Amino acid sequence: MALSIKMRLFAVLTVLTLFISGCSTLKPAQLPDEYTLPPSDAPLWQSLAAIRPGNWFVLLNDGKTALDWRLTAIDSAVESIGLQTFLWDFDSAGSLVLDRLVSAADRGVMVRILIDDTFLISEDQILVGLADHPKIEYRVFNPFKHRASGFVSREILNLTEFQRLDHRMHNKAMIVDNRIAIVGGRNLADEYFGLHSEANFRDLELLAGGPIVREISASFDNYFNDDWSLPIDMVTHIQPNFVDLDSVGHARDPAVYEYEEVSPEDRRLLWVDAVRKAFGGEASLFVDKPPIENPAADSSAPVQLAMQMIELLDEAEKQVLIISAYLIPSIDLEGAIERAVKRGVDVRILTNSIRSNNHLAAHSAYRKHINELLTDGANLHEVRVDARDRHLYMFPPANKKSLALHAKALVIDRDKVFIGSANLDPRSLRLNTEMGLLVYSEALNAEVRSMVERDFSQENAWHLQFDTDGNIIWVSGNVVLTSQPADSFMQRIEDWFFMHLPIDDEM
């Protein structure tokens, strides 16, 4: 009897909550536009421009290199920093980035931060404290109006705005002094830099310099000035907590990763060496348009980048390497792959296996496409969670850690490379906004091809094939499996369950 009363009370409270939340919705904010400062004329940047006046690119292939250059770039800033990201955890990597950004602001650098609101749970006190700095502006993209301390409660409180909130900003970029930028797939958290104690991602980014950086800055400005990018103090009424802010800025383990600020001259030498060894090439920025009105409106659906990627596949002549953490191909994408194979293009695809995929529901949706992809003639590979070479992407002890794929890249023929934030799934190609760089460079193409070749090897990935009876098998070295390499029987059950849910378009 008591349980029945509690259940009825919960139902009543839920209805009231939905009614209250439905009475008011978040409105976009029309604020004065702000723009990135012109490219800095600081001596460091002038000297680098003299060495390489055109575009140049450094491949950030592993977590340590990516984190080192991110922090070095922040410490090199003289006038401005723009940071755009989907996720930012205040763990070791995230706290280091926070600490260096605050130090940059302390020395007078204008820091503007734009972050998606998906994972900003219970962080408002820290974020408001960060934005209280006179040189830091913090905006939240497409925010939840009703702030809650948990995912479930927040979803319930904002349920009537599901269609708007289903569209997220997945873009990732950092621009320093309008001179250099980092673009790619990494979020700001330990697992993206090889620092996590249990599971880490294999990811890819580009450190870029030259005229293309101004286009990246313009894209950042478009998003920062979008009416759905709201200052954090317009989203929450919570007061700042400067004690917690200071704590998260130092929440790191020096025993795992130690960053030491070097002298300006040593930093200059690092930049000079990197730019001299960098790859040159022309580049195009692929980026979805930010929403004009409600992000859920059909007229503002972010499909520009998806169409450009299909065009890239249709232009391929000999070979395409597709690297996508989450692979749920649309009809258009499957058509492009089929057309490519029919005209003689070698199509090789690398994605996650059931064990390495950190979103089981996404894997379940992908499974429905395996047979068609193999029938079309694509070579399909799935990352092994225990890949032999996983030590390349994480700090030791690698043998106690698992690997997952998070990179998003296309390698087209021998002269084009695309690296960005977009997976080949409905969420990236239709719901979320994305960005990435297409670089025309035979040298960079060869470097990326060399770096990812080991990821496709059977020591690091399962090769999916048809056996003589037409059944799918998973091959890795001398091991041949007739069913997918699941972690457990329960994982197979969960996978089967998700396969039968009508949620593919949300993955």
**How many other C-beta atoms can be found within 10 angstroms of the C-beta atom of residue 282?**
13
The total domain count for the chain is 2
Question: Which amino acid is present at 361?
Answer: A
Average pLDDT (319-335) is: 96
Token pair, residue 79, equals: 């006038």
Q: Does some domain include residue 30?
A: no
228 and 300 belong to one structural domain: no
pLDDT of residue 20: 47
Confidence of residue 338 (pLDDT cuts 50, 70, 90): very high
Considering the domain boundaries, does residue 22 fall inside one? no
What pLDDT does 2 receive? 46
Q: Which residue has the higher pLDDT, 292 or 346?
A: 346
Q: Lowest-confidence range among 147-151, 187-191, 260-264, 305-309? A: 147-151
In the predicted model, is pLDDT for residue 7 greater than 70? no
With respect to residue 17, please indicate whether it lies within any of the assigned structural domains: no
* Those residues with Cβ within 8 angstroms of residue 482's Cβ, 6 or more apart along the chain or in another chain: 467, 471, 473
CATH of the domain at 502: 3.30.870.10
Residues 247, 310, single domain; the answer is no
Q: Is the pLDDT of residue 1 over 60?
A: no
Q: Which of 216, 244, 277 is the last residue of a domain?
A: 277
pLDDT tens by residue, 93-143: 999 999 999 999 999 999 999 999 999 998 999 999 999 999 999 999 999
Mean pLDDT, the chain, integer: 93
The pLDDT of residue 308: 95
Name the least confident of 6-10, 156-160, 198-202. Answer: 6-10
207 and 308 fall within a common domain: no
**Sheet holding 279-280: strands in order across?**
229-231, 136-141, 110-116, 80-85, 173-176, 180-184, 205-209, 56-60, 279-280
Flag whether 403 is in a domain: yes
pLDDT band at 300 (very low <50, low <70, confident <90, very high): low
How much is the average pLDDT of 397-405? 96
Q: What is the mean pLDDT of residues 377-397?
A: 97
The pLDDT confidence band at residue 296, using thresholds 50, 70 and 90, is confident
Q: Is 387 exposed, middle or buried (0-12, 13-18, 19+ CB in 10 A)?
A: buried
Query: Quick one: 271 and 291 in the same domain?
Result: no
132 is in which domain, residue-wise? Answer: 49-277
Query: pLDDT digits over 204-263, tens only?
Result: 999 999 999 999 999 999 999 999 999 999 999 899 989 889 988 888 888 889 888 899
Closest CA to 325 of 247, 387, 407, 263: 407
Which segments of 24-107 does DSSP mark as H helices, in order?
Answer: 43-51, 63-76, 92-106
Based on the fold, state whether residues 269 and 295 are members of the same structural domain: no
Residues 249 and 314 reside in one and the same domain? no
Confidence of residue 3 (pLDDT cuts 50, 70, 90): very low
Compute and round to an integer the Cα radius of gyration of the chain. Answer: 23
| CA–CA distance, 150 with 156 (Å, rounded to integer) | 10
Q: Read off φ and ψ for residue 141, nearest 5 degrees.
A: -90, 130
Q: Is residue 33 part of a domain?
A: no
pLDDT tens across 350-374, in order? 999 999 999 999 999 999 999 999 9
pLDDT classification of 181: cutoffs 50, 70, 90: very high
The residue-averaged pLDDT of 430-450 equals 97
329 plus 264 within the same structural domain: no
**Within a domain: residue 355?**
yes
Same domain, 135 and 253: yes
From 277, 301, 319, give the residue that closes a domain: 277
State whether 61 and 118 are in the same domain. yes
271 and 294 co-located in one domain: no
Task: Give the domain-ending residue among 252, 277, 302.
Answer: 277
pLDDT given for residue 18 in this prediction: 47
In a domain, 14, yes or no: no
**302 and 434 share one domain:** yes
Does residue 10 or residue 167 have the better pLDDT?
167
Same domain flag for 436 and 461 = yes
Within a domain: 168 = yes
